[in-house]
Chain A
Amino acid sequence: MKALLKEIGSGFHSLVTGMRITLGQFFKPQVTVHYPHETLKMPVRFRGHIELVRDPQTGKAICFACKACEKACPSDCIIVEGVKREGERRKSVTEFKLDFTKCSLCGSCVEACKSEAIRFSKDYNLASVSKEEFIMDLFKRLESEQPKPPQAQPEQSKEAA
């Protein structure tokens, strides 16, 4: 009987304590970020999909199609093609195909690249209704963008390596 009364007492006390805690949380500010009205800043090392890096001097892609990334990729989602043009020391990239449907964002390609020619993009809004949009040619993407002035080279590529 005494044990029962004690259990009732402690049980009731535990229920009241629980309710006090949740009421305390009730008056605290909310902790969620209200996407899409608010967005978070992506950390420097954020691993998005990859993109080619432009050489600040020449305005062309640094990549010279050595295919180290292609070999390193565990999911075979990178295809790099390049040609050796007359009068140039290295090959230059003509096609850099990323099959993002297969990519697992592991970052092996960026790590394998010794010339820091690819980096992670900070783009995380990746949604599409068609599969084809995820098979992207990063070289064409780079070409279609306006060449940035030389000082616009961000520090991400260094961090990612």
Chain B
Amino acid sequence: MSIIEPFRLLLFLVGIMAFVGLNAAYLVWVERKGAARFQRRPGPTEVGYGGLLQPIADGIKLLSKQLHVPPGADGVLFRAAPLLVMIPAMIGLAVVPFSESLVARDTNVGLLMIFAFGSINVMAIMLSGWSSRNKYAIISAARIVSQDVAYEIPMLLVVVTMLMATGTMNLNEIVQQQAGWFWRWNIFRLDVNPLMPLTFIIFFVCMLAETNRAPFDMAEAESELVAGAFTEYAGMGFGVFFIAEYANIILGCAFATILFLGGWQSPFGVWSGVFWFLLKMYVLVFTVIWVRWTFPRTQFYNLLNLSWKLLIPISLSTLILTAVVMKVLK
């Protein structure tokens, strides 16, 4: 490791923070505008052109509010939870290759790292629910644990399938394997696993559930639990959870792009670059928003049924199928 490496890493981490912050702020705007378009209304328009300054105004509002710890709450955990919730997205993005060279840490355990730190997310939300001493928040914390545990399994099974297909945990290498025309992308690699598109859908569903997005937003479920685990948070405490939600969506969509959609590879085999990565990622982000504004929320036992009775058996069978296909073809 050269002397420049720590500085480079630091620079990239700052860059990632800025990327996450900016994205979170403007994804809120995109979400509000998108929701408005789906519902045939204008959305925010007053602050700046087309409401473009709305996220900044909201941020200032949140920053200027008091950080109130409710009486009887566990103050340390209550304050620690918003800090903890940002960690997985930040660290996850550190190993994501935005382009061939634009990656903070090109490590050969990238895949593992995202999952290792991804689990912290659950803990952070559970802590926030547990520590705020609110009945809605407790219910929400209990829900989020069982939900995320249930969806971690099919997601990991899918990732193991991909691991078998690619043979590496280095994300940059996974992308490089998908070079060429778009049928070289993993989602279309029917020769490795005939169920590959289905695998992608399972991954996408699990990602929605892991990031607590609608229709799996059981933890927030505003018509049942007010705001769930975040009920007692005010000001920037709430704001950080909000940013983390979008940061996790970004991470999830980036991850799906790398694993299935060829990362920064162009669909025509030429002019690859960061542009393609961002385009694919934002298309997925838009789909996440689109799904949210289309479907009602699932009921809790349906959510678990879907995972345990449907997604896990299917992802397990794709795993076995891939293993068999690869063994036979070899």
Do A and B touch each other in the complex, judged by CB within 8 A? yes
Q: Is the CB of A124 closer than 8 A to any CB of chain B? A: no
Q: Are B294 and A8 in contact (CB under 8 A)?
A: no
Listed stretches B37-45, B66-74, B103-111, B181-189; interface member: B37-45
Q: Are A19 and B290 in contact (CB under 8 A)?
A: yes
Q: Are B294 and A22 in contact (CB under 8 A)?
A: yes
Q: Is the CB of B310 closer than 8 A to any CB of chain A? A: yes
Report A97 CB to chain B, min CB distance, Å. 39
Q: Are A28 and B40 in contact (CB under 8 A)?
A: yes
29 A-B pairs with CB atoms under 8 Å apart are A8-B310, A15-B295, A18-B294, A18-B295, A19-B290, A19-B291, A19-B294, A21-B294, A22-B38, A22-B290, A22-B294, A23-B290, A25-B38, A25-B39, A25-B40, A26-B37, A26-B38, A28-B40, A29-B40, A30-B36, A30-B37, A30-B40, A30-B41, A30-B42, A31-B40, A31-B41, A32-B40, A32-B42, A34-B45
Q: Is the CB of B293 closer than 8 A to any CB of chain A? A: yes
Task: State how many residues of chain B have any CB contact under 8 Å with chain A.
Answer: 15
Residues in A neighbouring B41, C-beta threshold 8 A: 30-32
Report B207 CB to chain A, min CB distance, Å. 16
Of chain A, the residue at the smallest CB distance from B201 is A12
Report A62 CB to chain B, min CB distance, Å. 44
Q: Is the interface of A mostly helix, strand, loop or mixed?
A: helix
Residues in A neighbouring B294, C-beta threshold 8 A: 18-19, 21-22
Residues in B neighbouring A30, C-beta threshold 8 A: 36-37, 40-42
Q: How distant is the Cα of A21 from the Cα of B291 in the complex, in angstroms?
A: 12
Report A22 CB to chain B, min CB distance, Å. 4
Assuming A8-B310, A18-B295, is B42 touching A34 (CB within 8 A)?
yes
Q: How distant is the Cα of A30 from the Cα of B42 in the complex, in angstroms?
A: 7
Report A31 CB to chain B, min CB distance, Å. 5
Residues in B neighbouring A26, C-beta threshold 8 A: 34, 37-38
Contact pattern, B 306-325, Cβ under 8 Å of A = 1, otherwise 0: 00001000000000000000
8 tightest CB-CB pairs across the interface, nearest first? A22-B294, A32-B41, A31-B40, A30-B40, A26-B37, A22-B38, A18-B294, A19-B294
Q: Are A22 and B293 in contact (CB under 8 A)?
A: yes
Residues in A neighbouring B293, C-beta threshold 8 A: 22
Which A residues from 1 to 37 make CB contacts under 8 A with B?
Answer: 8, 15, 18-19, 21-23, 25-26, 28-32, 34
Report A46 CB to chain B, min CB distance, Å. 24
Residues in B neighbouring A22, C-beta threshold 8 A: 38, 290, 293-294
Residues in B neighbouring A21, C-beta threshold 8 A: 294
Residues in B neighbouring A23, C-beta threshold 8 A: 290
Q: How distant is the Cα of A25 from the Cα of B40 in the complex, in angstroms?
A: 7
